[in-house]
Amino acid sequence: MASQPEPNPVPQHADKREAILDAALELFAEKGFHGTAVPEVAEKAGVGAGTIYRYFESKEALVNSVYRRCKESFGRALIDDFPRELPVRKQFHVFWTRMVDFATTQRTAVMFMELHHHAPYIDAKSRASEEMILAAGRAFFDETSRREVTKAIPSDLVIALIYGAFSALMKGCWSRQIELTPEILDAAENCMWEAIRR
């Protein structure tokens, strides 16, 4: 019997690049950009320090690659296959649930994004990743306001209110000040909806 062909292995360089990104994510989330040295990233990734510069020209380029990977993953989690046919209140529930699911399964990514969001070393390409998510949120809340389902306030304000409360809730959970029970999540979601609905 003829043997089955072996699957093509993932190129070694791709493995190393992903290992570097994973290591950098953990260290940047824990120690910040300035508190993390490139040799620390290399050690955690299991590569030589010089190897990092084969994939990323600087520490700034590395942190921006991590940022874009996190933001794009977050954006896909929120937006992909979004059920636009549902009533607005149910759409809001899906949106809220997806944020919670991402934060609970990708805690390090959320902590990293929170820490580096306003940093001066975040470049224009990374800001564009953020803008992709904001544009979808603006379009949604502009439309719901036009239909008089949500308050007639700027969509950026609505997003800031919702994400600000969500972020504080997650931080409270991570610091063990708040137990993230289904009841707490439902109460928080309802508070947010009451804050923005007409």
The answer, yes or no, to whether residue 160 has pLDDT greater than 90, is yes
For the residues 146-165, what does the mean pLDDT come to? Answer: 96
Phi-psi region of 79 (alpha: psi -120 to 50; beta: other; left: phi over 0): alpha
- Give the pLDDT band (50/70/90) at residue 117: confident
- The pLDDT value recorded for residue 10 is 39
For the residues 133-151, what does the mean pLDDT come to? Answer: 96
* Residue for token pair 């010089």: 50
How far apart CA 134 and CA 128 sit, in angstroms, is 10
* Residue for token pair 């190897």: 51
Cα separations in angstroms, 12 against 15, 17, 18, 19, 100? 5, 9, 10, 11, 34
pTM score: 0.87
Residue 111, both tokens: 């902590």
For the residues 124-145, what does the mean pLDDT come to? Answer: 94
CB 29 within 8 A of CB 67: no
CB 112 within 8 A of CB 25: yes
Q: What is the DSSP letter of 49?
A: H
Q: How does the average pLDDT of the chain come out, rounded?
A: 91
Q: CATH class for domain 66-196?
A: mainly alpha
Spell out the domain ranges in the chain: 9-56, 66-196
For the residues 14-27, what does the mean pLDDT come to? Answer: 93
Q: What is the pLDDT of residues 163-182, one digit of tens each?
A: 999 999 999 998 888 888 99
How far apart CA 57 and CA 61 sit, in angstroms, is 6
Among residues of the chain, what percentage have pLDDT more than 90?
86
- The pLDDT value recorded for residue 53 is 95
* Residue for token pair 């610091």: 175
Domain 9-56 is classified in which CATH homologous superfamily?
Answer: Homeodomain-like (1.10.10.60)
For the residues 32-36, what does the mean pLDDT come to? Answer: 96
